[in-house]
């Protein structure tokens, strides 16, 4: 039967609510038809990734919505931008690019979006409830919302995310449906040694493995330690979304929609071994003994809990190497002890991230990170080599002035 639109959908499409809304609905309808959706559904919130400046087309599209009188219909948060408005001296964009990046940010605020400027909107006080239908962009936010919160979103990229926010509608397909959320693969982490299970680097490395073996499939993970928390699952999901196209996983015993072990009995299974994790470490940056020029943590943005752990690990010691931490304004405010980090030589980055905009000092060649996502994207984005390690390794390396690896 094809895509069936309601009277309200058709009115938006016909321009009865302005040209901006009509533009958004045209994009949404064309995408829904391409996805094979039978109808559109109402959404409760949106998270927009299109506010990151990639060139004139993004700004042109946002301005077309603004000039057409569009406004978002649901609470809408904004992903990272290309600028750090709190620490503008850190960003080394040329003047024209910086001006256009700021104009893009302003356009999305004019559409009624909240200027949250974070890739981790799930760390904000207001976040989607279990079962709520949403339209989120940003790969790590998508996988966290689906997996950890149990909200329902497909992968919404630039332009489509804001179109869903403006119309309040999304295609009823894929991860919005019960069928689309069922596991089709089991990833078993049951046989890992106690030492591996206790190492915080397990989660990004396991996520990298998950992305490689699952690709676009929904997997169920068994055998995660009982101490697994949201920050661990965040790191796992971000890595899986980078190394593959994972938009949802189930962690048995941790996530709200995880099937029982009995339900997994007949599914294809992959057993994670120490050798697979070691290979993941090598792929992400296993340059043991390499000289490093800087350390970057906080991709996705550090939570206030992670900022506190960073402060505790530093314990007042001064960094010999630049240590950058990416975080959100909200997490930094909640943490409330930013000056203590800065006194240790930490460079706090908000509103953006060090792997997507020029912040690292010229001449930086080798960077250490605790983030599988940063390690996956930074070499191509920045032209740097990466050394991967745990958060503790990163801190000890920044203090020592050389790479310290304990994996």
- DSSP secondary structure, 78-119, as one string: E---S--SSSGGG----HHHHHHHHHHHHHHHHTT-B----S
Same domain, 130 and 235: no
Is 405 within the bounds of a domain? no
Q: Which helix (H) or strand (E) holds 286?
A: none
Whether residues 117 and 226 share a domain: the answer is no
Q: What pLDDT score was predicted for residue 305?
A: 97
Residue 213 domain-assigned?
A: yes
* 287 pLDDT higher than 80: no
Q: Is residue 157 part of a domain?
A: yes
**Res 405 pLDDT > 90:** no
Domain boundary among 263, 282, 301: 282
Structure confidence at residue 289 (pLDDT): 63
Question: Do residues 172 and 228 share a domain?
Answer: no
With pLDDT > 70 as the criterion, what percentage of the chain qualifies? 99
Q: What CATH number does residue 341 fall under? A: 3.30.499.10
Residues 83 and 160 in one domain: yes
What does the pLDDT read at residue 79?
98
Q: What is the pLDDT of residue 391?
A: 97
Clarify whether residues 260 and 312 are in a common domain.
Answer: no
Residues 147 and 245 in one domain: no
State which H helix or E strand residue 258 sits in: none
**Domain-terminating residue out of 162, 177, 192:** 177
Asked if residue 359 has pLDDT above 60, the reply is yes
Task: Please tell me whether residues 203 and 301 are part of one structural domain.
Answer: no
- Residue 391 tokens, joined: 């958060």
Question: What is the pLDDT, as a whole number, of residue 104?
Answer: 98
Number of domains composing the chain: 3
Contact 142, 161 (CB under 8 A): no
In a domain, 388, yes or no: yes
Shortest CA distance to 81 belongs to which of 106, 63, 110, 111? 106
Please tell me which residue, 191 or 220, carries the higher pLDDT value: 220
Percent of the chain with pLDDT over 90: 93
Q: Is residue 162 part of a domain?
A: yes
Is residue 194's pLDDT more than 90?
no
Pairing of strands 346-349, 323-327: parallel
Residue 266: how many other CB atoms lie within 10 Å: 8
- Do 147 and 230 meet the contact criterion of CB atoms below 8 Å apart? no
For position 406, what pLDDT does the model report?
Answer: 84
- Is residue 316 located within the same domain as residue 379? yes
Identify the domain containing residue 364 by its residue range. 286-400
Report if residue 351 sits inside a domain.
Answer: yes
- Residues 261 and 226 grouped into a single domain: yes
- The phi and psi torsions of 46 (rounded to 5 degrees) equal -145, 155
Question: 307-355, pLDDT tens digit by residue?
Answer: 999 999 999 999 999 999 999 999 999 999 999 999 999 999 999 999 9
Q: Is 345 domain-assigned?
A: yes
If asked whether residues 219 and 163 sit together in one domain, one would say no
Reported as a single tens digit per residue, the pLDDT across 100-138 is 999 999 999 999 999 999 999 999 999 999 999 999 999
pLDDT attached to residue 288 = 57
Query: In this structure, are 165 and 307 located in the same domain?
Result: no
Mean pLDDT of the 383-387 span: 95
Pair (129, 169) in one structural domain: yes
**Other beta carbons within 10 Å of 379:** 16
pLDDT attached to residue 191: 84
Mean pLDDT over residues 198-223, rounded?
Answer: 95
- Mean pLDDT, the chain, rounded, equals 96
User: What's the pLDDT score for residue 290?
Assistant: 74
């Amino acid at each position: 039967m094809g895509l069936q639109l309601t009277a309200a959908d058709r009115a938006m499409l016909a321009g009865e609510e302005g040209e901006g809304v009509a533009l958004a609905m045209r994009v949404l309808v064309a995408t829904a038809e391409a996805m094979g959706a039978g109808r559109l559904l109402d959404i409760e919130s949106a998270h927009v990734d299109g506010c990151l400046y990639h060139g004139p087309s993004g700004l042109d599209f946002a301005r077309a919505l603004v000039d057409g009188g569009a406004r978002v219909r649901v609470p809408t948060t904004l992903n990272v931008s290309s600028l750090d408005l709190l620490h503008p001296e850190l960003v080394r964009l040329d003047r024209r690019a910086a001006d256009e990046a700021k104009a893009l940010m302003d356009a999305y605020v004019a559409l009624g979006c909240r200027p949250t400027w974070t890739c981790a909107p799930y760390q904000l006080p207001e976040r989607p409830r279990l079962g709520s239908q949403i339209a989120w962009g940003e790969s790590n936010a998508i996988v966290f919302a689906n997996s950890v919160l149990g909200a329902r979103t497909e992968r919404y990229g630039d332009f489509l995310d804001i179109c869903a926010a403006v119309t309040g509608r999304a295609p009823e397909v894929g991860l919005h449906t019960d069928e689309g959320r069922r596991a089709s693969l089991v990833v078993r982490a049951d046989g890992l040694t106690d030492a591996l299970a206790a190492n915080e680097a397990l989660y990004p490395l396991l996520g990298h493995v998950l992305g490689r073996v699952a690709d676009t499939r929904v997997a169920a993970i068994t055998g995660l330690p009982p101490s697994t928390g949201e920050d661990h699952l965040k790191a796992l999901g971000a890595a899986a979304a980078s190394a593959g196209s994972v938009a949802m996983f189930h962690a048995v015993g941790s996530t709200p929609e995880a099937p029982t072990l009995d339900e997994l009995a007949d599914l294809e299974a992959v057993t994670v071994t120490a050798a697979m994790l070691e290979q993941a470490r090598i792929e992400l940056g296993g340059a043991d003994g390499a000289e490093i020029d800087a350390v970057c943590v906080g991709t996705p943005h550090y939570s206030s809990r992670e900022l506190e752990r960073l402060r505790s690990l530093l314990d007042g010691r001064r960094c010999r190497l630049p240590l950058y931490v990416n975080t959100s304004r909200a997490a930094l405010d909640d943490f409330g002890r930013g000056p203590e980090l800065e006194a240790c030589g930490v460079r706090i980055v908000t509103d953006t991230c060090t792997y997507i905009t020029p912040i690292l000092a010229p001449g930086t060649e080798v960077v250490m990170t605790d983030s599988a996502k940063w390690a996956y994207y930074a070499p191509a984005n920045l032209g740097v080599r990466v050394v991967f390690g745990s958060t503790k390794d990163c801190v000890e390396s920044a203090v020592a002035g050389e790479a310290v690896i304990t994996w």
